[in-house]
Amino acid sequence: MNAVRELMKVFITRRIPEEGMKILSGATGVCEVSQWDSDEPVPRAELLKRVQGAHGLLCLLSDKIDAEVLDAAGPNLKVISTMSVGFDHLALDEIKKRGIRIGYTPDVLTDATAELTVALLLATARRLPEGVEEVKTGGWSSWKPLWLCGYGLSGSTVGVIGLGRIGMAIAQRLLPFGVKRLLYTGRTAKAHAAEVNGEFVPLDTLVSESDFIVVSCSLTPETQGLCDEAFFSKMKKTAVFINSSRGAVVNQEDLYEALKSGQIAAAGLDVTTPEPLPTNHPLLTLKNCVVLPHIGSATYSTRGVMSALTVQNLLGGLQGLDMPSELRL
Ligand code: NDP
Ligand code: DGY
């Protein structure tokens, strides 16, 4: 008589798009799933409880997966699959030490995130939220030569911090606006930069020569707090700062001072610290700061594909098979 194989346990920390759930329900005989059935984050205590004994964990960027969570999960845990390309919420050293595999979602969200970053740049530089507000509140009295002027991309210098997948896709989208020079920084020069005539320059050169600075690097110990007082003080007074990477790359107190004092022209942020940004945060009092709620990858189709890829990674990791997008540690 065949022994009945025990199902592996999976914990999913949130509701995710149905594309992923369908794949999971088709994988009969592999795992039993428990899910935090909400659009809001799982409370930490609940995560620590529900992860116990799990073989697989499907998480989001808002779940901090550290030694405490890994200890709570125990020795069964084989795979952590995050529905994000960023992995700064995962304690990589601890995960590696325990031999746990990681799945993530590069590439599939590159276009959506680049598109949103360009939208944010244009909205910030051309003051769209201010304009919309003026129309609604009766501030629009006439066509006025000096009113609501901003900055255009034509003939400008754009500096991209981190010319990776998303940085490159942003550069490709910005060039047709008539950008004259495309500067970038990173740890190493990139062969693909030639496609956008990218010039690899030291950070200081990028900061002082750019009319638009776009941050699209990953959050690491080296990039944490990279954009601080010294950084903003080197920027042109007419320059626009855009961040769609992670909030912690920016020192927000220093950014506030730079915007308030007119040291820089404007900032557009898709990411902040913390998230959500409290509604009484000083940055939200500034007209020259546009803040979005971390929606870079938020198109229906992109989130569907991310969900499917996250589940495929999870299933591959559970069964000891290839994962379509494994983060190699
Ligand atoms: P990639 O790994 O392709 O690119 C990351 C880039 O960061 C690389 O070019 C790397 O350059 C650069 N980088 C690393 N360290 C430094 C440094 N010290 N100084 C300057 N650049 C550095 O990742 P993606 O482009 O796919 O994603 C980038 C990030 O975007 C993610 O990590 C995530 O945080 C964020 N993101 C945000 C989204 C949103 O909704 N707003 C959506 C998706 C992603 P090098 O190789 O030379 O080190
Ligand atoms: C990521 O994937 O890292 C983004 O921040 C959300 O899509």
Give the integer Cα–Cα distance in Å for 31 and 9: 6
Q: Looking at the predicted structure, is the pLDDT value of residue 166 above 80?
A: yes
ipTM score for this prediction: 0.99
Kindly list the catalytic residues: 294
| DSSP assigned state of 285 | G
Q: Looking at the predicted structure, is the pLDDT value of residue 1 above 70?
A: no
Give the integer Cα–Cα distance in Å for 319 and 329: 19
CB atoms within 10 A of CB 207: 24
Q: Clarify whether residues 142 and 287 are in a common domain.
A: yes
Ligand 1 center from residue 189 Cα (angstroms):
14
Tell the residue nearest (CA) to atom 1 of ligand 2: 84
Q: Clarify whether residues 305 and 267 are in a common domain.
A: no
Give the integer Cα–Cα distance in Å for 123 and 117: 10
Tell the residue nearest (CA) to atom 2 of ligand 2: 84
Percent of the chain with pLDDT over 70: 99
Q: Clarify whether residues 26 and 117 are in a common domain.
A: no
| Mean pLDDT confidence for 23-43 | 96
Q: Clarify whether residues 101 and 169 are in a common domain.
A: no
Residues 6 or more apart whose CB falls under 8 angstroms from that of 261 comprise none
> What is the pLDDT at residue 2?
52
Residues 6 or more apart whose CB falls under 8 angstroms from that of 177 comprise 152, 153, 154
Q: Which domain holds residue 199?
A: 109-291
Number of domains in the chain: 2
pTM of the entire predicted model: 0.98
- Residue 3, in any domain of the structure: no
Ligand 2 environment, Cβ below 6 A: 61, 84-86, 109, 296-297
Return the ligand number nearest the Cα of 105: 2
Query: pLDDT grade, residue 222 (50/70/90)?
Result: very high
Do residues 288 and 266 lie in contact, with contact meaning Cβ atoms separated by under 8 Å?
yes
Return the ligand number nearest the Cα of 246: 1
Q: Clarify whether residues 115 and 219 are in a common domain.
A: yes
The predicted-structure confidence for 39-94, as pLDDT tens digits, reads as follows: 999 999 999 999 999 999 999 999 999 999 999 999 999 999 999 999 999 999 99
Q: Clarify whether residues 274 and 147 are in a common domain.
A: yes
- Residue 231, in any domain of the structure: yes
> What is the average pLDDT score of the chain?
97
| CATH, residue 38 | 3.40.50.720
Ligand 1 center from residue 148 Cα (angstroms):
33
Chain centroid to Cα 39, Å, comes to 19
Shortest-distance atom of ligand 2 to CA 298: 7
| Unique residue bearing structure tokens 């996250």 | 310
Q: Clarify whether residues 173 and 317 are in a common domain.
A: no
Query: pLDDT grade, residue 272 (50/70/90)?
Result: very high
Smallest Cα–Cα separation from 81: which of 12, 16, 17?
A: 12
- Residue 2, in any domain of the structure: no
Smallest Cα–Cα separation from 51: which of 94, 105, 10, 96?
A: 10
- Residue 250, in any domain of the structure: yes
> What is the pLDDT at residue 99?
98
Smallest Cα–Cα separation from 151: which of 241, 234, 227, 230?
A: 241
Give the helix ranges, DSSP H, for the chain. 18-26, 44-50, 67-73, 92-97, 110-125, 128-137, 165-174, 203-209, 229-234, 252-260, 300-318
Give the integer Cα–Cα distance in Å for 292 and 270: 5
Give the integer Cα–Cα distance in Å for 286 and 190: 36
- Residue 60, in any domain of the structure: yes
Q: Clarify whether residues 158 and 263 are in a common domain.
A: yes
Q: Clarify whether residues 319 and 198 are in a common domain.
A: no
Q: Clarify whether residues 127 and 225 are in a common domain.
A: yes
Q: Clarify whether residues 71 and 114 are in a common domain.
A: no
> What is the pLDDT at residue 201?
98
Per the DSSP assignment, residues forming a β-bridge with 80 are: 57, 102
Residues 6 or more apart whose CB falls under 8 angstroms from that of 230 comprise none
- Residue 1, in any domain of the structure: no
Q: Clarify whether residues 71 and 132 are in a common domain.
A: no
